[in-house]
């Protein structure tokens, strides 16, 4: 069974991610839970070296300095946490070097994009006049509230093809920021009706990365949402086999 790292911030938010992996056959004991406090003094290189999948979850806004900006006047940022930003940056750096598969969710999508050189809208409503994406629970919305649809882009990438096969998906939505400039090396795979980018993947066949802007962990009862985690687990399993094969000594006959 492959081993996973989940980066997150709040304990109360972790169960749905664990349940989503469990639905795909991954027991909780095969998951390392990474927060700044938990990883203080921990060798992240060793953690990632034993991992076969890295999941970046939802949470607070990224620091604008990570994508070469200052906070815009009038923008209310949701409590950026520099320590979490740095931890996830380091995890991504190590994952890229080791070719560990990555699945980014909501903030995780934004972190992947920024790490690879992309930029964000600090506030979709302020900068684009778009609403309907910020259906937060403290606004009275259920975690599985269907906010809008997403549909495949015209990309030929397998991730885009997967959305095309199932048709438009109804998704939940809990973000006020979004992708402004997609990073080099990523391809847009799905978008909302208003054009907000909702899913992307790496173009590098050697590094499996998928990311979505919604929260499929709260929609795990739906087969098309559960499939996102199943594909991640399958990529991790392939990485595990490759990693263990590389570590196996070569037998020399004679």
* Residues catalogued as catalytic: 106, 215, 217
Beta strand extents in 8-75 (DSSP E only): 31-34, 53-56
38's CB contacts (< 8 A; 6+ apart) are none
Between CA 103 and CA 53 the distance in angstroms is 8
What token pair was written down for 233? 């687990």
Between CA 39 and CA 156 the distance in angstroms is 38
Output DSSP code: residue 140.
T
Q: How many residues does the chain have?
A: 254
Picking from 54, 93, 106, 98, the residue whose alpha carbon sits closest to that of residue 207 is 98
Picking from 57, 61, 59, the residue whose alpha carbon sits closest to that of residue 76 is 61
Between CA 9 and CA 78 the distance in angstroms is 13
């Amino acid at each position: 069974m492959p081993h996973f790292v989940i980066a997150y911030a709040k304990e109360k938010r972790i169960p749905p991610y664990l349940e989503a992996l469990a639905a795909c056959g991954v027991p909780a004991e095969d998951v390392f839970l990474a927060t700044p406090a938990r990883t203080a003094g921990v060798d992240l290189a060793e953690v990632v070296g034993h991992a076969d999948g890295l999941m970046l979850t939802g949470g607070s806004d990224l620091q604008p300095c990570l994508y070469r900006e200052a906070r815009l006047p009038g923008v209310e940022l949701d409590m950026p946490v520099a320590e979490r930003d740095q931890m996830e940056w380091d995890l991504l750096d190590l994952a890229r070097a080791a070719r560990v598969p990555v699945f980014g969710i909501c903030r995780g999508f934004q972190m992947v994009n920024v790490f690879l050189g992309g930029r964000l809208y600090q506030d979709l409503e302020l900068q684009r006049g778009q609403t309907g994406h910020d259906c937060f629970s403290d606004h009275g919305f259920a975690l599985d509230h269907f906010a809008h649809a997403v549909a495949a882009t015209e990309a030929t990438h397998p991730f885009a093809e997967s959305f095309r096969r199932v048709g438009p998906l109804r998704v939940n939505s809990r973000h006020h920021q979004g992708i402004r400039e997609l990073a080099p090396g990523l391809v847009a795979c799905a978008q909302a009706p208003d054009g907000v980018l909702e899913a992307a993947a790496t173009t590098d066949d050697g590094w499996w990365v998928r990311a979505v802007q919604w929260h499929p962990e709260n929609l795990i009862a739906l087969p098309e949402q559960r499939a996102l985690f199943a594909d991640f687990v399958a990529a991790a399993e392939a990485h595990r086999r490759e990693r263990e094969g590389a570590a196996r000594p070569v037998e020399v006959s004679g």
